[in-house]
């Protein structure tokens, strides 16, 4: 065979077809070309026959390859990650206790896997070259699955170490083997996205593993098990791996020449389509000169040091992510389920960077974005206070994008490193760095640093920062080498050898091979966009911080990291940057103060601090049509609701369908519903007074408003007022989601992810289980309404009847539309309960105000148990400013002097002076987007405040103004602690 190959190898001469001259080939390269690729024999046997591969045929072959190769590679790689991380799940399921792990035993269990991986990495790469690629890979998969099953039989630390070591030995083949398979079957243009796809199944593995581990943990806790939970997870994942290994053995061939699922002619076409790679499909001979070249190539060591440094964080996070999540304040079970979204983030980041890199031909740079996001995420984990567990969890999720450059470099080894021996050597060295980093990684999470592990987290940030410089060096080096190759190809007398792509030449020897690399176009784009925003944008002359004008990250910091604090930063902007010459930029605004009311608060947004301009902003005329901010409404998690509707015209049509339910006449006609619920609250307060218990007004008012809305909108009594503690977990959970509104605004994919998770699965997450129960109830109500839409409208409540009436399009009567609209309508009632809490706080704090109001109320409520009508209460001169003052908090001292003071008399004084303060009230908004429930809100406010002040003598209990002072903006105003609790004691029930 060797002699045959020698005879068939081309001589060290080639003919330039254009000039007819014979060119001399470098004798060293000619000698190396004699030991050619396996595919060369196939093409020489064609005796010059031309193979045509049109686009349609190429796509057909690619589809066949994708459907046979990619699914099994993806599943196996997902199990490869899951098999490594089962130890992390087991760490909070009892393995530490059962194996008597003490001190740093667990860290060493994490590291021992990579010792086995490291010891066998180079030998397995040689075997991948020497042995049939498909069969050897399948054997390793089956063996590592069997070894994982054996973990269930371990009962001490020594046995666990042995299992982890040999698990690393046999898993060492999967990444280099899959990289070889990808380079063998796909063109360079296709390789990046394919590597990202199968590598992204690390994320799917984490999703699947988290759900399985959570199910096992919860199931065994509730129903018991004769086997420890951590042993079950090892058995399940191990057996699944063995099954996948057997499928892999049957499906995946060693190369195109023995693919049973390809016709004979298609096998040749499958080879022809990868000719452009200039690399061939394999050579089983070991070539020492390629090893030397690999060791001398600076890129080999750039790859090695990147893998080493980047995988120090990976080794730590992979083995400690469950414990890291519990350090944020979550339970062990919650840490399992909260690990699931992390897998989704990894999938999205890998697929996104892979396809974007293929589309833009900028693979390296597209992947760098994931590393930058990870650095920001870990900074959040370190910098945020322990109390901000959600922000720290978000930061952890962002770190899962860190794998994108690692995968990009793995794909670059497939596409840029030529010569089969050199390719396997570079891949081995790269993965040796990967092993070494993962060995070091668990050791930086020292037991004495628990539970926060701050030194480890800082180490991770530094490592990723260094990796950015390594990526920049790789890009620069490949760019220089491509320029050198271009000069060689352009030199006089240069001509490639015939069938050079099948000669198993290295990338240094083959000048036809052009390195795949990313250019800095994205950075250039970002730079030019920033320059445009600062210099050429129409808003360039508006005063404000340059950073806010350049990037939305300025607002992101205050609203996401600080938690709803941007509005106060905007206030500081007005103090610092406001100036009168802003009129030159916006001539249609009439300025009324020495300080300019206009500042630029983001790249495309102005903030106008001028109460006289509100009417122009909220104009509802035909010329005043304005669509809602799409970036803002996407954060509401209810895209089909009227409140989240972007289009002005669509919002108008949706509003028209239900507006008749909220007219003044409709509210008056249903006033008995409000009165009945207030009477029920009064009965509860009577009982509380008799036992001398403390009552939370926030809880009581939340239950009251929810029960009113349930009856008013859905003809259903929600019975929150019947709960001994007015427990209303649905509203509380909704408020927890509302606190994430800024996160959803900047990371909208989280909304998509949240809505895509089945409600029955979300129900198992304790923090939102009550909210999910409520949404499931609403869904059932909506389904019943759709099913019975031709029957009585009251069977499912007036809202569903209204939404299903009329001749609107089918999508406006869909289940999603009904669910979203009904959910927003009832959750919006939280603002009423918040306002009632604030009003009662001020009235109870200032006894003189309460007494003045009580005396006035006696005019229409002669006895404490008398039920006055809303229309009667509106006519009272003092109750009306009380309601207006507490409900609309405005901070402009020019309009409302001393705005933080609760001063109802300001409205009476303004009336005497013919000043219309009401024109400056915008809490319900104005124009076409005005709050649809304003009449219902007023009725509840008037009737509730009047009833409680007239009927009870209450006293604040350990309540301070900090509980009701607005300190955070999450669409709804919130105090620093989140809600206006306002605890009170009902001292007496008034009789006169």
In what order do the strands lie in the sheet containing 694-696?
694-696, 983-989, 952-956
Count of helix runs (H) and strand runs (E) in the chain:
43, 9
Q: Would strands 22-24 and 13-15 be described as parallel, antiparallel, or unpaired?
A: antiparallel
Do residue 182 and residue 294 come from a single domain? Answer: yes
Residue 243 marked as a ligand binder:
no
Whether residue 162 sits in one domain with residue 62: yes
pLDDT at residue 244, as a whole number: 92
Q: What's the CA angle centered on 628, arms 626 and 633, to 5 degrees?
A: 175
pLDDT at position 242 is: 92
526 and 426 share one domain: no
Taking CA atoms, 559 is separated from 562, 565, 630, in Å, by: 6, 5, 18
Tokens, residue 896? 């409302």
- Does 828 fall in a domain? no
Sign of CA dihedral 35, 40, 45, 49: negative
42 contacts 49 by C-beta, under 8 angstroms: no
Q: Does 250 fall in a domain?
A: yes
Residue 435 belongs to some domain of the structure = yes
Q: Are 378 and 347 contained in the same domain?
A: yes
CA separation for the pair 703, 133 (Å, rounded): 66
Pairing of strands 694-696, 972-974: unpaired
- Does 334 fall in a domain? yes
Tell me, yes or no, whether 631 lies in a domain.
Answer: no
The span from the CA of 873 to the CA of 879, in Å, is 7
Res 794: pLDDT: 44
Q: What pLDDT sits at residue 409?
A: 84
**Alpha-carbon span 596 to 863, nearest angstrom:** 53
pLDDT at 881: 44
What pLDDT was estimated at residue 16? 43
Q: Are residues 295 and 161 in the same domain?
A: yes
Same domain, 20 and 147: no
Domain endpoint, select from 552, 585, 609: 609
Does 474 share its domain with 554?
Answer: no
Q: How many domains does the chain have?
A: 3
In a shared domain, residues 30 and 60: no
Query: Which pLDDT score, from 0 to 100, does residue 775 have?
Result: 79
Give the largest CA-CA distance in the chain. 119
Q: What confidence score (pLDDT) does residue 648 get?
A: 80
- The pLDDT of residue 498: 59
Please provide residue 96's backbone torsions phi and psi, each rounded to the nearest 5 degrees.
Answer: -65, -40
In a domain, 766, yes or no: no
Instruction: Look at the alpha carbons of 634, 640, 646, 651 in this order and tell me if their dihedral is positive or negative.
Output: negative
- Based on the domain organization, do 159 and 22 belong to the same domain? no
Dihedral-angle region of residue 278 (phi above 0 means left; psi in -120 to 50 means alpha; beta otherwise): left
Confirm whether 796 is domain-assigned: no
Mean pLDDT of each 10-residue bin along the chain, 992 residues long: 37 42 51 50 53 78 89 88 71 74 74 80 82 90 90 84 87 85 81 78 73 68 69 85 92 84 82 67 68 87 90 76 68 66 73 65 68 83 74 81 81 78 84 83 75 79 86 83 80 65 65 56 59 81 85 82 81 74 39 56 79 57 62 72 81 85 89 91 90 89 90 86 82 68 74 67 63 80 77 62 80 84 82 84 84 85 86 70 37 51 52 51 55 85 89 87 76 68 87 84
Q: Do strands 968-970 and 972-974 pair parallel, antiparallel, or not at all (unpaired)?
A: antiparallel
Residues found in the chain:
992
pLDDT at 245: 92
Asked whether residue 908 is assigned to any structural domain, the reply reads no
For 551, the domain range is 521-609
The reported pLDDT for the residue numbered 230 is 75
> Which of the listed residues 609, 631, 660 is the one where a domain comes to its end?
609
Task: Kindly state whether residues 478 and 530 are assigned to the same domain.
Answer: no
Is-contact 118 432, C-beta < 8 A?
Answer: yes
Same domain membership, residue 30 and residue 64: no
Integer Cα distance of 330 and 323 in angstroms: 10
Give 78-111 as a 3 state SS string.
HHHHHHHHHHHHHHCCCHHHHCCCCCCHHHHHHH
- Domain check: are 274 and 418 in the same one? yes
942-971: burial string, b at 16+ Cβ within 10 Å, e else: bbbbbbbbbbbbbebeebeeebbebebbbb
Contact call for residues 677 and 704 (beta carbons, < 8 A): yes
Which of these three, 553, 585, 609, is where a domain ends? 609
Helices (H), 692-768: 697-714, 729-738, 741-746, 749-756, 759-762
The residues, any chain, with a CB within 8 Å of residue 76's CB and separated by 6 or more, are 141, 174, 241, 244, 245, 248
- What is the CATH number for 124? 1.20.1250.20
């Amino acid at each position: 065979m060797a002699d045959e190959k020698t005879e068939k190898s081309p001589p060290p001469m080639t003919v330039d077809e254009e000039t007819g001259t014979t060119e001399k080939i470098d004798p060293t390269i000619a000698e190396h070309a004699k030991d050619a690729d396996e595919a060369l024999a196939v093409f020489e046997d064609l005796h010059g026959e031309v193979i045509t591969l049109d686009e349609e045929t190429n796509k057909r072959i690619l589809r066949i390859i994708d459907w046979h190769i990619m699914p099994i590679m993806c599943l196996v790689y997902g199990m490869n990650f899951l098999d490594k991380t089962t130890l992390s799940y087991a760490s909070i399921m009892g393995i530490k206790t059962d194996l008597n792990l003490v001190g740093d035993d667990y860290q060493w269990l994490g590291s021992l896997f990579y010792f086995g991986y490291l010891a066998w990495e180079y030998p397995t790469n040689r075997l991948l070259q020497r042995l049939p690629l498909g069969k050897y890979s399948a054997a390793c998969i089956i063996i590592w699955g069997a070894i994982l099953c054996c973990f269930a039989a371990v009962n001490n630390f020594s046995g666990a170490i042995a299992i982890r070591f040999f698990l690393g030995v046999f898993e060492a083949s999967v990444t280099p083997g899959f990289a070889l398979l990808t380079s063998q079957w796909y063109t360079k243009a296709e390789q990046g996205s394919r590597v990202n796809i199968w590598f992204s199944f690390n994320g799917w593995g984490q999703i699947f593993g988290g759900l399985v581990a959570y199910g096992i943990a919860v199931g065994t806790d509730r129903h018991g098990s004769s086997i420890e939970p951590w042993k079950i997870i090892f058995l399940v994942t191990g057996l699944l791996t063995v099954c996948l290994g057997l499928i892999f053995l049957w499906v995946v061939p060693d190369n195109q020449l023995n693919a049973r699922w390809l016709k004979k002619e298609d096998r040749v076409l499958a080879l022809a389509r990868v000719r452009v790679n200039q690399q061939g499909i394999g050579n089983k001979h070991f070539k020492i000169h390629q090893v030397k070249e690999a060791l001398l190539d600076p890129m080999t060591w750039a790859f090695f040091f990147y893998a080493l440094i980047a995988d120090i964080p990976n080794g730590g996070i992979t083995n400690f992510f469950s414990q890291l999540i519990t350090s944020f304040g979550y339970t062990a079970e919650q840490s399992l389920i909260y690990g699931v979204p992390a897998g989704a983030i990894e999938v999205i980041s890998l697929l996104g960077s892979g396809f974007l890199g293929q589309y833009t031909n900028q693979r390296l740079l597209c992947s760098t974005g994931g590393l930058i996001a990870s650095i920001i995420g870990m900074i959040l984990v370190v910098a945020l206070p322990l109390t901000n567990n959600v922000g720290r969890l978000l930061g952890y999720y962002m770190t899962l994008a860190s794998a994108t450059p690692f995968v990009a470099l793995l794909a670059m080894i497939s596409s840029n490193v030529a010569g089969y021996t050199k390719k396997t050597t570079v891949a081995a060295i790269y993965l040796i760095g990967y092993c070494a980093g993962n060995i070091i990684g668990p050791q930086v999470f020292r037991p004495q640093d628990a539970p926060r592990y701050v030194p480890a987290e800082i180490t991770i940030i530094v490592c990723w920062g260094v990796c950015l410089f390594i990526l920049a060096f790789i890009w620069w080096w490949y760019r220089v080498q491509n320029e050198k190759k271009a000069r060689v190809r352009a030199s006089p007398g240069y001509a490639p050898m015939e069938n050079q792509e099948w000669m198993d030449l290295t990338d240094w020897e083959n000048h036809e091979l052009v390195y795949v690399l990313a250019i800095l176009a994205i950075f250039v784009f970002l730079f030019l966009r920033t320059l445009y925003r600062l210099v050429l944008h129409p808003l360039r002359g508006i005063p404000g911080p340059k950073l806010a004008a350049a990037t939305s990250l300025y607002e992101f910091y205050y609203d996401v990291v600080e938690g709803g604090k941007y509005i106060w930063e905007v206030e500081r902007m007005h103090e610092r940057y406001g100036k009168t010459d802003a009129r030159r930029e916006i001539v249609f605004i009439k300025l009324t103060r020495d300080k300019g009311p206009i500042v630029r608060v983001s790249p495309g947004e102005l903030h106008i601090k001028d109460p006289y301009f509100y009417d122009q902003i909220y104009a509802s005329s035909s010329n005043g049509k304005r669509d809602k901010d799409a970036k803002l409404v996407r954060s509401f998690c209810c895209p089909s609701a009227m409140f989240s509707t972007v289009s002005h015209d669509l919002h108008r049509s949706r509003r028209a369908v239900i507006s008749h339910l909220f007219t003044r006449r409709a509210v008056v006609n249903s006033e008995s519903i409000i009165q009945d619920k207030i009477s029920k609250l009064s009965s509860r307060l009577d009982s509380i007074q008799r036992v001398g218990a403390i009552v939370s007004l926030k809880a009581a008012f939340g239950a009251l408003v929810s029960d009113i809305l349930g009856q008013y909108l859905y003809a259903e009594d929600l019975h929150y007022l019947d709960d001994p503690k007015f427990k209303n977990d649905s509203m509380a959970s909704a408020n927890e989601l509302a606190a994430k509104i800024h996160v959803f605004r900047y990371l909208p994919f989280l909304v998509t992810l949240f809505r895509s998770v089945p409600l029955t699965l979300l129900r198992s997450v304790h923090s939102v289980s009550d909210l999910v129960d409520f949404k499931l109830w609403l869904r059932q109500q909506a389904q019943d309404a759709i099913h019975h839409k031709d029957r009585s409208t009251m069977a499912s409540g007036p809202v569903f009847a209204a939404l299903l009436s009329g001749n609107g399009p089918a999508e406006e009567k869909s289940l999603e539309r009904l669910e979203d609209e009904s959910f927003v309508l009832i959750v919006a009632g939280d603002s009423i309960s918040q306002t009632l809490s604030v009003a009662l706080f001020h009235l109870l704090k200032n006894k003189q105000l309460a007494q003045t109001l009580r005396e006035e109320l006696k005019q229409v409520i002669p006895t404490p148990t008398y039920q006055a009508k809303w229309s009667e209460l509106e006519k009272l001169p003092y109750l009306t400013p009380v309601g207006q003052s507490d409900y609309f908090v405005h901070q402009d001292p020019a309009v409302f002097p001393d705005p933080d003071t609760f001063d109802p008399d300001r409205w009476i004084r303004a009336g005497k002076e013919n000043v219309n303060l009401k024109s400056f009230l915008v809490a319900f908004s104005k124009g076409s987007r005005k709050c649809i429930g304003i009449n219902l809100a007023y009725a509840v406010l008037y009737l509730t405040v009047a009833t409680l002040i007239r009927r009870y003598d209450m006293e604040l209990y350990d309540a301070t103004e900090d509980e009701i002072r607005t300190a955070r903006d999450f669409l709804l105003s919130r105090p620093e602690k989140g809600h206006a609790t306002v605890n009170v004691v009902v001292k007496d029930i008034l009789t006169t």
